[in-house]
Amino acid sequence: MTAPCLEVRGLNVWLRSGERDLHLVRDVSFTVRSGERFGLIGESGCGKTTTLMALMGLLSDRASVAGDVLVDGVDILGDGERDVRAHRWRDIAVVFQSAMNALNPVQTVGRQIAEAAGRMVGGSEVPVRRRVSDVLELVGLRAEVAERYPHELSGGMRQRVAIAMAVVCEPRVLLADEPTTALDVIVQAQVLTALERACAELGAALVLVSHDMGVIGEVCDRAAVMYAGEVVETAEIDTLYHDPAHPYTQLLIAASPSLAHRDRELVSIAGTPPAAGVAVPGCGFVARCPRHFGPCASSAPHVWPVGSGMQRVRCHLYDSASKVRP
């Protein structure tokens, strides 16, 4: 087993809002090995994007962050803004949801990729240009695309340009925030393939954030499910799909359409998630949970191992001292 490439330990994010602090991300920890593809699943407001922004050091100054983020054992969150900047893009790069907003409309994509590459290759024109066409090739685009402007490209091509920009410095970790949400299934397949190929080529760790169980399931090796700012379950992808432990994961899978189980009636989870960042005494999911019992409303659940593998779940049902067995 390779050493962890990205290690997130006890990450917390607060956002100052008026007189209160919203605790948007609570105690999130996970590790991703080199070449591994890790998924972060959750619905809007669950804190998955905030987590990703915190890893990149891109949160607004109204937010405060605590915890450790290590890339190859080096803390990149540690010593203030400047340090984060120095590491960014060589250690850790990101692909955003909307490539149109992430690209400069008045520069050719080639120049923008070269600009990102400049920090690594440096100096002369030719190696940079070669590097640009190499990464475009990697994401399945012809080298001529470098001469085009973002508005001349389709949504899927733009997203692949964004991936090229992210991998041009050969980062150790690639983050992707809902990279295919606005895209159609066929384009989505193209973009996911580009993402996978880029990561495989670099041996980078991939963290894919999505609300779509199907996308995570198809791409990732392992995934964490987030709810109300916390990771509620972490498991290998097959386990997560076929043997989910947390009631939320179970419902989320039952709510996701699937080609293989298309005769199954989809479920919807009653109620709505709690307001983001507002502290509750017990489990954040208790109000919507069909299996809640005694301690759920009053005490916050701990993380428990389930089964023999790597599955971890934050739920009272799996408390080793609990009388209730799932």
Partner 1 sequence: MTESLAVRTAHGARRGDALWRGVRRNPGLGLGIAVLLALGVIATLAPLIFPAGSGLQVGESYAAPSSGHLLGLDDGGADVLAELTWGARISLLVGVCAGAITVLVGGLVGLLSGYFGGWLEQMLMRVTDFFIVIPVLPVMIIIAALYGTRLVNTILIIGLLSWQSTARVVRAQAKSVRERLFVRRARAMGAGHARTLLRHVLPQVGPLLAASTALAIGHAIFFEAALRFLGLADSNTTSWGQMIADAFQRGATNAGAWWVLLPPGLAIGLVVLMTTVLGRRLEQHMNPRLEVSHLGLRSFRRQHAAGRSR
Partner 2 sequence: MTKTPALEIDGLTVRYGAKQVVDGLSMTVRGGELVAVVGESGCGKTSTALASVGLVRPAAGTVRVAGADLVQARGRGRRGILRSIQLICQDPYEALDPRCTVGEVVAEPLLVHRVGGSAPARRALVIEALARAGIPNAETYLDRYPHELSGGQLQRVAIAAAIVLHPLVLIADEPVSMLDVSLRAGVLRLFADLRDAGLAILMITHDLVTAAQYADRVAVMYAGRLVEEGSPEAVLRSPTHPYTRALLAAVPNPDRSRDVARPILPGEPPDLLDLPSGCRFRPRCPLAQESCAQTDPTLETLTPERVADAHRVACIRAFELDHAPPGDVPLTRAGSSVEVPVAQDGGRPD
Footprint of partner 2 (CB under 8 A): 43-44, 137, 140-142, 145, 154-157, 160, 184-190, 192-193, 211-218, 237, 241, 251-252, 255-260, 262, 265-269, 272
CB nearer to partner 2: pick between 51 and 210: 210
Shortest approach of partner 2 to residue 309 CB, angstroms? Answer: 17
Q: Does 281 bind partner 1 (CB under 8 A)?
A: no
Residue 81 binds to partner 1 (criterion: CB under 8 A) = no
Instruction: Kindly state the number of chain residues that form the binding site for partner 1, as judged by CB under 8 A.
Output: 20
Which of 2, 64, 101, 298 lies at the binding interface for partner 1 (CB under 8 A)?
101
Question: Which residues fall within 8 angstroms of residue 221, CB to CB, at 6 or more apart?
Answer: 36, 37, 38, 236, 237
Strand partners, 227: 230
Is residue 276 part of the contact set for partner 1 (CB under 8 A)?
Answer: yes
From the CB of residue 62, how many other CB atoms can be counted at a distance below 10 Å? 11
29's enclosing H/E stretch is: strand 20-33
Query: Binding residue for partner 1 (CB under 8 A) from 44, 124, 268, 308?
Result: 44
- Considering only residues 103 to 142 of the shown chain, the ones binding partner 1 according to CB under 8 A are none
Smallest separation (angstroms) from partner 2 to the CB of 92 = 25
| 16, 63 contact by CB (below 8 A) | yes
Dihedral angle of Cα 106, 109, 113, 116, to the nearest 10 degrees: 20
Please state, in angstroms and rounded to a whole number, the distance separating the CA atoms of residues 193 and 215: 11
Asked if 278 is part of the footprint of partner 1 (rule: CB under 8 A), the reply reads yes
List the Cα angle 116/180/177 in 5-degree steps.
Answer: 55
Contact 91, 171 (CB under 8 A): yes
Of 22, 28, 174, 176, the one binding partner 1 (CB under 8 A) is 22
Binding flag, residue 45, partner 1 (CB under 8 A): yes
Q: How far is the CB of 214 from partner 2 (least distance, A)?
A: 3
- Give 75's strand partners: 70
Strands 4-17 and 63-71 turn out to be antiparallel
Q: Count the Cβ atoms, other than its own, within 10 Å of residue 221.
A: 15
Residues near partner 1, by CB under 8 A = 15, 17-18, 20, 22, 24, 44-45, 49-50, 53, 58-60, 62, 101, 275-278
